[in-house]
Amino acid sequence: MGRARLDRGGDLVSAAALDVTSTRAWLLRFSEHVVADADELTELDRLVGDGDFGWNLSAAVRRARPGLESPAETPGELWSRLSDAFLAAGGTSGPLFGLWFGRLGASEATGWTGHDLADGLSRATEAVTRLGGASVGDCTMVDALVPATQAAADAADADWSDAVAAAAAAARTGAESTAPLVASRGRASYVGERARDVVDPGALAVAWFLEAATDTVR
């Protein structure tokens, strides 16, 4: 433990405690991925939904960018700025991700442990399933959120970076599990069989999000 690695911008990123610097690096990394590959998400939503998901998501992260680059005292402040940008976005995903980021970051801690992260994921995912009303198997982002949250809880005694790596792996598996499913909630519930063999874009975005954290500490 006590490892320190370079983030993409060259700052020191603590693998043991998730502080402001490493949180910023994570969230900016995620933003860049979304902006770069928005079309992939849009294409998936086009196949099973109304084809605006990539656009909704990249508009939100672009809106968040100045806030993510401004000074902050705690990681919670950065999460809260990201949350607001998503809450101001359209679609179903905007408010749900906004809620998720908001609950995730609702902590005053300046350096998060693996337990802080696991607690945050648990709060956040609970809120999204409660308000969104979807369960695992409904072919939504929840199919990635729930296993990721469970994996982080299981790895909470480890460094935050190990916990998030476990969560990311679980999210990826969860996202891929949506391909053979026919959606019963939200978007894809209208297209039925046409949605088979297509990964849910919301679930995939959850995987991207957690993978962005592991990228910054790699």
Ligand X SMILES: Nc1ncnc2c1ncn2[C@@H]1O[C@H](COP(=O)(O)OP(=O)(O)O)[C@@H](O)[C@H]1O
Residues 6+ apart with CB under 8 A from 11: 21, 25
Bridge partners for 113 per DSSP: none
Least Å distance, CB 157 to other proteins, is 29
CB nearer to other proteins: pick between 75 and 186: 186
Using the rule CB under 8 A, is 182 a contact of other proteins?
no
* Binding range to other proteins, per CB under 8 A, among 63-71, 98-106, 113-121, 139-147: 98-106
Q: Where are the beta strands (DSSP E) in the chain?
A: 4-6, 12-14
Give the whole-angstrom CA distance, residue 75 versus residue 85. 16
**Residue 100 phi, psi dihedral angles, 5° rounding:** -65, -50
Using the rule CB under 8 A, is 166 a contact of other proteins?
no
Token pair 């019963």 is found at 184
Here the tokens at position 88 are: 């101001």
x-or-dash string of contact with ligand X, 7-46, rule CB under 6 A: --------------------------------------x-
> Residues 158, 160, 164, CA angle at the centre, nearest 5°?
105
Enumerate residues 46-65 that contact ligand X by CB under 6 A: 49-50, 52-53, 56
* Binding range to Mg ion, per CB under 5 A, among 27-35, 86-94, 132-140, 146-154: 86-94
SS3 content of the chain, % helix, strand, coil (to 5): 65, 5, 30
Using the rule CB under 5 A, is 174 a contact of Mg ion?
no
Output the residue with the shortest Cβ distance to ligand X: 202
Tell me which of 54, 75, 76, 91 binds Mg ion, using CB under 5 A.
Answer: 91
CA separation, residue 105 to residues 35, 51, 68 (Å): 22, 29, 13
Give the whole-angstrom CA distance, residue 174 versus residue 74. 30
Give the whole-angstrom CA distance, residue 57 versus residue 216. 21
Least Å distance, CB 114 to ligand X, is 26
Using the rule CB under 8 A, is 90 a contact of other proteins?
yes
Using the rule CB under 5 A, is 37 a contact of Mg ion?
no
Here the tokens at position 77 are: 């402040």
Least Å distance, CB 88 to other proteins, is 5
Here the tokens at position 96 are: 């749900």
Enumerate residues 159-178 that contact ligand X by CB under 6 A: none
Residues contacting other proteins: total by CB under 8 A:
20
- Binding interface with other proteins (CB under 8 A): 84, 87-90, 92, 94-96, 98-99, 102-103, 127, 131-133, 184-186
- Binding interface with Mg ion (CB under 5 A): 45, 49-50, 52-53, 91
